[in-house]
Structure 1
Amino acid sequence: MADEDAHNLCRRFLDTYAAALVDGKPRWVERATAVGIVRDLLRGLRDRKHGPYLRDRTVRDGNQIKLRVDGHRTLAAGKDEARRARRILEAYAQQGNGHGQRFVAVDVARRIAGTGSLGLERYVVLARPENDPDTLRLIDIKLAVPSVWAQALGTSGSVSRWPAEAARVVGAQRVSQAVSPALLRPVVYAGKGERPCSYVVKSLQPTADRVALGTGKHVVADLDDALQTMARVAAWCHLRGCGRFGTDLIERLQDDAAGTAWRKSALKLAGHGRQVSLRQWREFAGDYREAVGEAKDDTHHGRA
């Protein structure tokens, strides 16, 4: 993509975001009013069934059903990891304040997902509701870690105290989203002799529920459609969060959004972020190629 196209897309994103903030009314994306590739995605999801999705994620082994371990979305879980995931799921029911749905875990795998989640403890659990043994659910369990902003801003960015990191993540999601994912709840768990860790537990979101930008001559127009929608969604989320957990009221956010000076700073920050991401990608790619080369050498010399 040409730099001029990228710059124009960023400017349009900020203009749309600011206009939605000034409007002051949090809305949500609807199938009837969505445009472009976002509309195509929502229309395609209308007829999606749970059965085919579940079959894509599982395999039959005789009379048993297990999670599909493909090395792309999932990795095999060791005995200790599977036991830990099952106990976190048990804690999910115990910490539900009387509203925690109980599940019986059928199988556990490690989950590979998200650029912000790589390297973090994360599981997918195939489970049956205790009160509905004929139904199968896919449940996502993810370790919650401190926000990257915590170290950058220190106490100046603190607006509320949270009992645990997962409570922060879930609290922000529940406030900012028009509809949160099913089963969403924070869970605190500690193994024997461990410090407590907190986890975000929710229904697994299908990877198909994402906008695919693709390539070709329409990529800029498709990206523009997606960014316009993302700008409005971001603004609506921020409007819902106004006045919550010590944040400013909507009127203050509207006043700030009506100005234009901040947009130049935002564009400059985006350009800096691009350079940092490209540098980090080159470092990662170099390390990956080196690691693959060493693994091949070990295999060749019979040390694998």
Structure 2
Amino acid sequence: MSKLSDRLIAFNKDLLPDMVQLKYEAMTENAFRFYRGTCHLFYQDLANAEALPLSPLVWICGDLHIENFGSYKGDNKLVYFDLNDFDEALLAPASYELARMVTSIFIAFESLDIGPEKALKMARLFVKTYCATLAKGKSISIEPRTAKGIVCDFLTAADDSTEKDILKKRTVYKKNKIMLSLEDERHFKVDKKLKHELKAHINEWIATSSDGPYNYKVKGIIFRLAGTGSIGVKRYLFLLKSTNTKNKYLFVDMKQARPSSVLPYTTVQQLQWPTEADRIITTQKRMQNVSSSLLSTTVFREDSYVIQELQPVKDTIKFKLLKDEYRDIYQVIDDMAALTASAQLRSGGIHGSAIIDELEAWGTDQQWQDIIIEYSRKYAEKVKRYYKQFVTDYKAGKFKKG
């Protein structure tokens, strides 16, 4: 077994065994899918490289890449485009977030057959816009009225989506009842005992939590797969029905929170959080302009979970559909850079993160930008070598259970 295989198996050993097999299978798709599923490798290697310039401490989402931006419905019922995955979030040098994101541009663009010259231009654009936004010292937000180009179209479509759309996608009608569908390959049946406990738990959350929806009851529960890196964690989808409005339904996602995979590879002193879920949603609230709808935490069977409303639309921009539209790609990357800087500005000066003055100075400093880009370009080549080794080991059966 290669050292790479040892590292992957060690990291995933505490996840649900059957689901980990699906994770490994998903990671064979291409180098970018592999990169999304191996955030821990990136930080293991970064800790040993010591190649990045000194940078201010900021709150980071930790696993920033081009598919961890997307639409979501805020608790004010408006739709936003922003960073949307905070499972790995913590306090760390700003360069960590940048290198992770810029590396994703190089890897994703090659997987999409977008030439290396365009990838390099987009990497430079991301860093340039990120710096320009920091230098201004003022965060921005993107919603349908302020969005441009393809992001505007994306958010407008999300804003126009209805609860009926998601109901049609996620449910079936049987015996005069609406039920969560098990036809979707990402949906799995939950055993009776667990289902009974989960139902009681969420009904209690609805009744007692100030973050829960009023006047709803659980009508259905399934186990749900989503993403790549999070395949293998415990994750449940709940169908809730209103008790006082006819044919009114709501979907709630409950996802197990694990320690950040960045944590072992940073020397930065971290806050002592009550639970991992508290770390995730507190950082999310600091970094996003508006919080996701129903964002909350709970503890079930001694594991902490993040709860939030399931979004009614696919919530990431599909670059595969944009690969021949240079202007659209430019606008999306430009927006992502401004949002990354804005998240750091918005959370600046909180519990150890750099104040706005320091972030402005970092944004105007020209000396570090090429270093980040070059590190990311070289690391993207390393990821491709990892991916080839992983596929070889996978085909040889080295990741099979037992």
Q: Which amino acid aligns with 1:206?
A: P
Identity among equivalent pairs (%): 28
Which residue is 1:107 aligned to? 220
Which residue is 2:279 aligned to? 168
Q: Secondary structure at the match of 1:157?
A: coil
Cα separation, partners in 2 of 1:132 and 1:222, compared to 1, 3 Å? same
Q: Which amino acid aligns with 1:67?
A: L
- The one of 332, 339, 343 equivalent to 1:233 is 339
Relative to the length of structure 1, the TM-score reads 0.83
* Mapped partners of 2:355, 2:298: distance in 1: 30
- The one of 268, 280, 290 equivalent to 1:157 is 268
Query: 1:11-90 counterparts in 2 under 5 A?
Result: 11-90=124-203
Which residue is 1:184 aligned to? 295
Cα separation, partners in 2 of 1:157 and 1:131, compared to 1, 3 Å? farther
* Mapped partners of 1:57, 1:278: distance in 2: 36
The aligned length equals 284
Cα separation, partners in 2 of 1:286 and 1:91, compared to 1, 3 Å? farther
Q: Deviations over 1:228-265 (max 9, x none)?
A: 11111111111111112321211111111211222223
Cα separation, partners in 2 of 1:246 and 1:91, compared to 1, 3 Å? farther
* Mapped partners of 1:15, 1:81: distance in 2: 50
Q: Which amino acid aligns with 1:209?
A: D
Q: Is the 8 A contact 2:162 2:312 kept in 1?
A: no
Residues 57-66 or 28-37, more deviating: 28-37
Relative to the length of structure 2, the TM-score reads 0.64
Residues 169-178 or 156-165, more deviating: 156-165
Q: CA deviation at 1:186?
A: 1.2
* Mapped partners of 1:143, 1:217: distance in 2: 34
Q: Is the 8 A contact 1:243 1:249 kept in 2?
A: yes
Q: Is the 8 A contact 2:211 2:294 kept in 1?
A: no
Cα separation, partners in 2 of 1:58 and 1:216, compared to 1, 3 Å? closer
Which residue is 2:102 aligned to? none
Residues 140-149 or 241-250, more deviating: 241-250
Cα separation, partners in 2 of 1:113 and 1:215, compared to 1, 3 Å? same
Q: Secondary structure at the match of 1:43?
A: helix
Q: CA deviation at 1:52?
A: 2.2
Which residue is 1:141 aligned to? 254
Residues 276-285 or 227-236, more deviating: 276-285
Question: Where do 5+ consecutive residues of structure 2 fail to align?
Answer: 1-113
Cα separation, partners in 2 of 1:71 and 1:45, compared to 1, 3 Å? closer
* Mapped partners of 2:186, 2:381: distance in 1: 28
Q: Secondary structure at the match of 2:262?
A: helix
Q: Deviations over 1:5-57 (max 9, x none)?
A: 11110010010011111111112113233222111112222322211221111
Q: Is the 8 A contact 1:17 1:232 kept in 2?
A: yes
* Mapped partners of 1:158, 1:95: distance in 2: 34
CA root-mean-square deviation:
2.5
Cα separation, partners in 2 of 1:10 and 1:85, compared to 1, 3 Å? farther
Question: Where do 5+ consecutive residues of structure 1 fail to align?
Answer: 191-195, 295-304
Cα separation, partners in 2 of 1:133 and 1:120, compared to 1, 3 Å? farther
Cα separation, partners in 2 of 1:22 and 1:158, compared to 1, 3 Å? same
Residues 16-25 or 269-278, more deviating: 269-278
Q: CA deviation at 1:66?
A: 1.0
Q: Secondary structure at the match of 2:328?
A: helix
Q: Deviations over 1:210-230 (max 9, x none)?
A: 212234762443322211111
